[in-house]
Chains A and B, each alone.
Chain A
Amino acid sequence: MRLELVPRAERSTAMALVSPVIAIGLTLIFGVVLFASLGVNPARALYIYFVEPLTKAWSLEELVVKASPLVLIAVGLAICFRANAWNIGAEGQFTAGAIAGSVLPIYFPDFQSPVLLPAMLVMAMAGGALYGAIPAILKNRFSANEILTSLMLSYVALLILDWLVRGPWRDPGSFNFPESRLFNASATLPLLAEGGRMHVGILFGLIIAALAAWRLGVSVHGFAIKVTGEAPRAARFAGFDQKRIILAVFVIAGALAGLAGIAEVSGTIGQLRPEISPGYGFTAIIVAFLGRLNPLGIVIAGLLLALTFLGGEAAQITLGLSDKVTRLFQGFLLFMILACDTLIAYRVSLKFGHRAAGVTGTADQKMVSNG
């Protein structure tokens, strides 16, 4: 007996949209089992994870603050994935952007000017874009696998950040804590409302998602990305240069991740630290897939994954659950989405073969070939 995946003749469009919902449902069932086995009341745990953060104004704000870097990064990743370029290194591009964008406020702490923030944003995007270009160039030049190079470069960026804030960029007045000096007021993204947590940076995600949805839909550039992902040979036939497109999507994704990085540092945190991201760059991969690689779907998916971060923090405090439970949740959600997508494209069929006959078959074969 063996399992076989048989391609379905017709893929259901409705199912493709419903699949994230099924995946979320299955993940919740998984959560019940997980919490029960950890000795926690599943109903209470799920409430704390997924409902409580939605009941308070401050946590709703926090939800948006956490969703915005996810959306920014995931839109860039979706563009890469559409072009069949597997950028797994958004965490590194996020970090590179945060570093590049922090150069001015760290080296010129007294420089205050309205052009400072725009300059920081541009430098962050350039830093992320350049860092994103490395795996693309390696792929185009040497056919190096971009999954490996982009992932490994993430750790390089994280270690560079670690070295910077422990070494040359450490705030002299930080009592040896590994952190940079605090950014001055004109290097900090302004808040949307006084006293709140939401800064201007959260608008970036919405603007970029809308822009990307529009460009992917109607422009020849968006068309080129989709053709390259679906059929590289047809893309060449259409006159699109595959290498240029690979480079372009990596640069776009890197720039967006870099923008998310500086928005997080200058908007939410206010200084550089060894840990500026709870894994946004990796979680954004899940956001991209949960949002069906569609920029508008990504906005919704970004909010949902931000909820797991918030709920995870709450569960850590209230239930004493490890923050690893959150990563487990996120990982299981991705697994379920991919499983649902596979079952939409393929149908599982049980084959009752006869392995035993195969064994006698070899014996027969020997006879035949010796005979």
Chain B
Amino acid sequence: MAKAGGSEQSDRGSAPLVHTIGLTKRFGELIACDAISFDIGAGEIHALLGENGAGKSTLVKMLYGALEPDEGTILWRGEPVRHSNPAEARSHGIGMVFQHFSLFEALSVAENILLGLPPDEGRRGLADKIRTISREYGLPLDPDASVHDLSVGERQRVEIVRCLLQEPQLIIMDEPTSVLTPQEADLLFVTLRRLAAEGRAILYITHRLSEVLELAGRATILRRGQVVATADPKAESAASLAKMMVGADVAGVERPAASVDGSAPRLQVRNLSVPADGPFGIALANIDLDVAAGQVVGIAGVAGNGQSELFDALSGERLADSGAIVIDSQPVGDKGINARRQMGAAFVPEERIGHGAVAVFRLSENVVLTHHGAGEAVAPSGRINRHAAREVETRVGERFDVRRSTDDPRASALSGGNLQKFVVGREIDRDPAVMVVNQPTWGVDAGAAQTIREELVSLARKGAAVLVISQDLDELFEISDLITVISDGKLSPVYPAETLTAEKIGLMMGGVHHAHDGLQAATDGGESGHAA
């Protein structure tokens, strides 16, 4: 039932709430949005679906006045409008809830909301207004609570209430569930349906197909900055939507069975505790985990529950007690990252640019970044061997199909997916004994994501211990043999992936760690799964 975008509003009677015609935005050579025409009616939940980099964020930023279109028109209730800043968009009744919150942690809920309101808006009665609105829409909030005490889901409520106080007719939500547990997401959906029932339109940005099927009345699908289809989700399946979004059939990762022999795990974490870094960091508490040769272990969790702290402790960017981390039976908890690399460990951090790679450096220089301290040919005795670095760059580029426009380009010249393939490939090229990856396919196109997942599984099957930290449950189910959940700096017991469902993981994400729900822990030993 998919039909080409652009001409569908003629059969919808009166003028839609928003109608864009030929909206175009360029960033240098890149056309982020290419002549986008689509419309949203009052009372509609409209999904904007697309992969990372498809142009979703750019499109909504133009609607919200955060970016000015280079070409094209926005019609608001049939009238052409130009928003040169978000305040103008809000004055027309367009509100937005961003994926990344803009809240001051040290201020209270009411103070944060006050800051987002027009300057002449009085603070008198604001607390009551917040209470009323939050109760009406099922978003319980205490106006006097300090934001840094709130959970991520509660912080999102603050953003939504702030948006609702302005009485918007169109509410734009940018990937709202990316920070929520499945249970929190269900509550959000109830609120969204109620808002739509009041006649407000909701533009819902996501790349999660299941949410589109569950929630949306219509879906506009973007690919490479263009509208490829406007579909009725009820007439589509997840597979057909995925095909439209990606432009090709997406194959799953083949995962042969793991064969774990009885030898000692290659990566052992024993009672790892690290204090919080700064007032808003997460402390790691008594983490125990084993990864055996041949295994992929996945760590699920909502963003900001200690994933980056755990990665830093495992990589050696933050040090812990000597015995807290053991690689191939050698304690390394108090050793730096290069000492761990010399023992065969490899690490891929969440941020590609600025952490895993330096944007202005050439790929070969980025090879030096992680290979120089591992006692390899790239930098013997303190001198960099450019030739050896180029060899690694070429080999990784060919093996992992890193598309480069020139020989040895700067990292900034690569697309997200290609750079991620390079950053992962750079480590796999070292043939590591232990591989720790944080968000392996974050912001990566489907093709590159599949390559990376396959390589991680095959690395494990060749005898490495692979630990994957990810917020993407589908990804974890696809590649992991065992799954555990991180919540507030603590790990749940480890379960075989087959015994888990998204709902069970959701409960654990909320901090329900113990096996009340009849889950069977994976480890052969104690019922907690922690081999203490």
Residues of A bordering B, CB below 8 Å: 8-10, 218-221, 223, 226-227, 230-231, 233-234, 236-239, 351, 353-354, 357-358, 361-362, 364-366, 368-369, 371
Do residues A239 and B337 form an inter-chain contact, with CB atoms below 8 A?
Answer: yes
Do residues A365 and B118 form an inter-chain contact, with CB atoms below 8 A?
Answer: yes
Give Cα A115 to B207, complex, Å: 74
CB-based nearest A residue for B379: A220
- The binding surface of chain A is classed by DSSP as helix
Do residues A219 and B384 form an inter-chain contact, with CB atoms below 8 A?
Answer: yes
Chain A residues, CB < 8 A from B27: 9
Given A237-B349, A358-B88, A369-B118, A218 contacting B384 (CB threshold 8 A): yes
Given A236-B317, A368-B93, A223 contacting B372 (CB threshold 8 A): yes
CB-based nearest B residue for A241: B336
CB-based nearest A residue for B354: A231
Give Cα A364 to B338, complex, Å: 59
CB-based nearest A residue for B372: A220
- The binding surface of chain B is classed by DSSP as loop
Chain A residues, CB < 8 A from B166: 365, 368-369
- Say how far B362's CB is from chain A's closest CB, in angstroms: 12
CB-based nearest A residue for B166: A369
Give Cα A357 to B28, complex, Å: 28
Q: Which of B81-96 contact A (CB under 8 A)?
A: 82, 84-85, 87-88, 90-93
Report B355-381 CB contacts with A as 1/0, cut-off 8 Å. Answer: 111111100010011101100000100
Do residues B87 and A223 form an inter-chain contact, with CB atoms below 8 A?
Answer: no
Residues of B bordering A, CB below 8 Å: 27-30, 68, 82, 84-85, 87-88, 90-93, 117-118, 120-121, 165-167, 315-317, 336-338, 341, 347, 349, 351, 353-361, 365, 368-370, 372-373, 379, 382-384
Do residues B355 and A239 form an inter-chain contact, with CB atoms below 8 A?
Answer: no
Do residues A237 and B355 form an inter-chain contact, with CB atoms below 8 A?
Answer: yes
Given A220-B372, A364-B91, A358 contacting B317 (CB threshold 8 A): no
- Say how far B343's CB is from chain A's closest CB, in angstroms: 13
Given A361-B87, A369-B165, A234 contacting B369 (CB threshold 8 A): yes
Give Cα A218 to B380, complex, Å: 11
Chain B residues, CB < 8 A from A371: 167
Other A-B pairs beyond A233-B351, A239-B316, 7, CB < 8 Å: A220-B382, A227-B369, A231-B353, A364-B92, A365-B91, A366-B120, A369-B167
Chain A residues, CB < 8 A from B353: 231
Chain A residues, CB < 8 A from B368: 220, 223
Give Cα A371 to B368, complex, Å: 61
Do residues B382 and A221 form an inter-chain contact, with CB atoms below 8 A?
Answer: yes
Given A231-B358, A231-B359, A238-B370, A223 contacting B88 (CB threshold 8 A): no
Give Cα A124 to B526, complex, Å: 66
Chain A residues, CB < 8 A from B365: 223
Given A8-B28, A365-B118, A366-B118, A231 contacting B91 (CB threshold 8 A): no
Chain B residues, CB < 8 A from A239: 316, 336-338, 341, 373
Do residues A219 and B354 form an inter-chain contact, with CB atoms below 8 A?
Answer: no
Given A234-B358, A237-B355, A361 contacting B91 (CB threshold 8 A): yes
Do residues B87 and A237 form an inter-chain contact, with CB atoms below 8 A?
Answer: no
Chain B residues, CB < 8 A from A220: 368, 372, 379, 382-384
Give Cα A10 to B92, complex, Å: 37
